[in-house]
């Protein structure tokens, strides 16, 4: 992408913003600007909400099958432009091309699931709930919904929500991450090409200023937020103040438990991809390994360190590495890199052993890039900050416990509960783990237990501030009002 100024898409028009200035969108591999994103004002966020509100009556009255026709067109376009979108994501976010392609695929799958809305939006009917009285539940669209997106899955995360919102008859305003806004701008262009009526889908670029206006706006009926738990808390409080529906998905520290009977070779390959994919910046990335027993701890530590040293770190758009499956790119920004380096120093200061040090890594031809190599701490104890904090980079901590019960306790005591996995061939261990861990998404011999698009996505504890999770059938509840009708008819005289 050439260094272009991005625009807002409001009421079917591309509007030139920049009233509050612009900020550069960097390619994190080089540190160079690839675009400028406008920092929209609260008034521009209001214009988007007004456009969405004006579009709601007609869109909500459009038959559901007709609404889905537009989404079918969008899935066709996404399929045709998948490679272009993947490259945009790799450029703005720094993840490898295979990771970006997987992101586009999961976005597409969500749009496909939303195309099934004529089935998902069906209500219920109870005949003779009382004598001669029937009860009926209608699933009706609600109004204008908003979404505030994170940088780490700049394209896929919005698809957890907006296709479902549109298919159920609501209208939408999205504010992409200011750090990685280019791929969603491209999606907005595709939405225009599909012929969605003006105002049904609106895009407002910017930072927290525009986001906060969406949060406090009385005409926004609900907010889907994905980002850090610190901001989730604010989003939840501010949504409650204006009586909005709110789903806020937050930070994580995902654990991988290795039992003594685990199949070590595939487990190590699986852990490497879970810990270092997207440079550790997936909300489902694992960053804490718990080994159960001395022997397995020694074996896993040695093998994991060896495999970590073999991870290739490079710019994802370097043609030489484009098809490499286990490639690690940079972290998103200089600020993120500084935080991760600080956390590595914290680990050293609090007495963990820095068994592999990714600091000081240089990638040839990418001097301005924000690279950190795979970093591993051993001798880590649960109370340490490097275990308590979401570091969101390629930094892995290894802990040792004596029993599965202890491993489950470590996970359950942690503030975050997004995902966790167990490696074992033993059905009893797996069953205990599935039932007793306080996390929202569990893997058994699967290092990234991210559910497919038709199943709910979301964690527990401080990883989520919501009752309704993302994607699939679950999110249909968020976007519809279950209006209940109680009716009777007396016989004719």
For ligand NAD, the binding residues (CB under 6 A) are 148-153, 157, 175, 177-178, 207-208, 211-212, 226-228, 231, 234-235, 249-252, 283, 390, 392, 418, 459, 463
**364 close to 253: Cβ distance less than 8 angstroms:** no
Residue nearest to ligand NAD according to CB distances in the complex: 227
Give min distance, CB of 206 to ligand NAD, in A. Answer: 7
Give min distance, CB of 250 to ligand NAD, in A. Answer: 5
Q: How far apart are CA 361 and CA 381, in angstroms?
A: 27
Q: Which is nearer to ligand NAD, 378 or 421 (CB)?
A: 421
Between the alpha carbon of residue 314 and those of residues 25, 327, 364, 447, 458, the distances in Å are 20, 7, 8, 23, 31
Q: Which is nearer to ligand NAD, 67 or 95 (CB)?
A: 95
Give min distance, CB of 123 to ligand NAD, in A. Answer: 29
Q: Which is nearer to ligand NAD, 211 or 448 (CB)?
A: 211
For residue 487, the cross-strand partners are 134
Q: How far apart are CA 210 and CA 36, in angstroms?
A: 16
Task: Give the CB-side neighbour count of residue 309, counting CA atoms within 13 A.
Answer: 7
Q: Which is nearer to ligand NAD, 152 or 378 (CB)?
A: 152
Q: What is the 3-state secondary structure (H, E, C) of 64-131?
A: HHHHHHHHHHHHHHHHHCHHHHHHHHHHHHCCCHHHHHHHHHHHHHHHHHHCCHHHHCCCEEEEEEEC
Residues in the chain: 493
Q: How far apart are CA 112 and CA 104, in angstroms?
A: 12
For residue 172, the cross-strand partners are 145, 201
Give min distance, CB of 309 to ligand NAD, in A. Answer: 26
Six-digit token pair at 274? 């879970």
Q: How far apart are CA 373 and CA 360, in angstroms?
A: 8
In 3D space, the residue among 460, 337, 339, 442 whose CA is nearest the CA of residue 389 turns out to be: 339
> 68 an active-site residue?
no
Q: Which is nearer to ligand NAD, 392 or 423 (CB)?
A: 392
In 3D space, the residue among 457, 461, 469 whose CA is nearest the CA of residue 247 turns out to be: 469
Instruction: Return left, alpha or beta for 293; rule: phi > 0 is left, psi -120 to 50 is alpha, else beta.
Output: left
Q: Which is nearer to ligand NAD, 283 or 430 (CB)?
A: 283
Give min distance, CB of 263 to ligand NAD, in A. Answer: 29
Q: How far apart are CA 92 and CA 5, in angstroms?
A: 14
Give min distance, CB of 415 to ligand NAD, in A. Answer: 12
Give min distance, CB of 36 to ligand NAD, in A. Answer: 16
Between the alpha carbon of residue 9 and those of residues 42, 174, 312, the distances in Å are 15, 10, 39
Q: Which is nearer to ligand NAD, 121 or 177 (CB)?
A: 177
**211 close to 184: Cβ distance less than 8 angstroms:** no
Catalytic residue among 182, 246, 278, 283: 283
Q: Which is nearer to ligand NAD, 184 or 296 (CB)?
A: 184
Six-digit token pair at 483? 């209006």
Q: How far apart are CA 467 and CA 245, in angstroms?
A: 10
Is residue 431 helix, strand or coil?
Answer: helix
CA 169 to chain centroid = 23
Give min distance, CB of 103 to ligand NAD, in A. Answer: 11
In 3D space, the residue among 74, 112, 48 whose CA is nearest the CA of residue 196 turns out to be: 74
Give min distance, CB of 56 to ligand NAD, in A. Answer: 23
Q: Which is nearer to ligand NAD, 48 or 77 (CB)?
A: 48
Is residue 424 helix, strand or coil?
Answer: coil
Q: Cite the active site residues.
A: 283
């Amino acid at each position: 992408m050439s260094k272009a100024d991005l625009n807002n898409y409001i009421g079917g028009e591309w509007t030139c913003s920049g009233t509050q200035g612009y900020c550069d969108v960097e390619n994190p591999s080089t540190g160079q600007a690839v675009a400028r994103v406008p920092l929209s004002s609260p008034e521009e966020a209001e214009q988007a909400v007004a456009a969405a509100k004006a579009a709601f009556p007609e869109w909500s009255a459009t038959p559901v099958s007709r609404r889905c026709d537009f989404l079918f067109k969008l899935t066709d376009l996404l399929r045709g432009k998948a490679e272009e979108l993947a490259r945009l994501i790799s450029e703005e976010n720094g993840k490898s091309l295979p990771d970006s392609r997987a992101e586009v695929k999961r976005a597409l799958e969500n749009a496909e699931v939303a195309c099934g809305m004529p089935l998902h939006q069906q209500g219920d009917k109870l005949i003779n709930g009382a004598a001669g009285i029937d009860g009926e539940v209608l699933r009706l669209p609600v109004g204008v919904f908003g979404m505030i997106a994170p940088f780490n899955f700049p394209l896929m995360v919005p698809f957890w929500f907006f296709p479902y919102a549109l298919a159920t008859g609501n209208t939408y305003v999205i504010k992409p991450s200011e750090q990685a806004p280019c791929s969603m701008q491209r999606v907005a262009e595709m939405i225009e090409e599909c012929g969605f009526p003006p105002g049904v889908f609106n895009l407002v670029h910017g930072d927290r200023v525009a986001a906060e206006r969406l949060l406090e706006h009385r005409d926004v009926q609900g907010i889907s937020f994905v980002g850090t738990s610190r901001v989730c808390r604010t989003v939840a409080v501010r949504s409650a103040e204006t009586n909005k529906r709110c789903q806020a998905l937050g930070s994580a520290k995902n654990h991988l438990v290795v039992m003594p009977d685990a199949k070590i070779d595939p487990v190590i390959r699986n852990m490497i991809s879970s810990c270092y994919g997207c440079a550790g910046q997936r909300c489902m990335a694992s960053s804490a390994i718990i080994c159960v027993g001395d022997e397995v701890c020694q074996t896993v530590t040695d093998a994991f360190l060896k495999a970590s040293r073999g991870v290739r770190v490079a710019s994802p758009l370097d043609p030489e590495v484009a098809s490499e499956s286990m490639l690690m790119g940079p972290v998103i920004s200089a600020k993120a890199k500084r935080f991760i380096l600080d956390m590595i120093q914290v680990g050293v200061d609090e007495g963990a052993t820095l068994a592999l040090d990714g600091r000081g890594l240089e990638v040839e031809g990418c001097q301005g890039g924000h690279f950190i190599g795979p970093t591993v701490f051993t001798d880590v104890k649960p109370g340490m900050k490097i275990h308590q904090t979401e570091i969101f980079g390629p930094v892995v901590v290894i802990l040792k416990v004596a029993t599965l019960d202890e491993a489950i306790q470590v996970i359950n005591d942690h503030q975050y509960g997004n995902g966790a996995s167990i490696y074992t061939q033993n059905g009893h261990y797996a069953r205990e783990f599935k039932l007793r861990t306080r996390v929202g998404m569990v893997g058994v011999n699967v290092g990234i237990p991210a559910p497919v698009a038709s199943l709910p996505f979301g964690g527990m504890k401080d990883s989520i501030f919501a009752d309704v999770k993302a994607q699939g059938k679950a999110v249909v509840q968020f976007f519809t009002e279950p209006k209940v009708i109680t009716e009777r008819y007396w016989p004719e005289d």
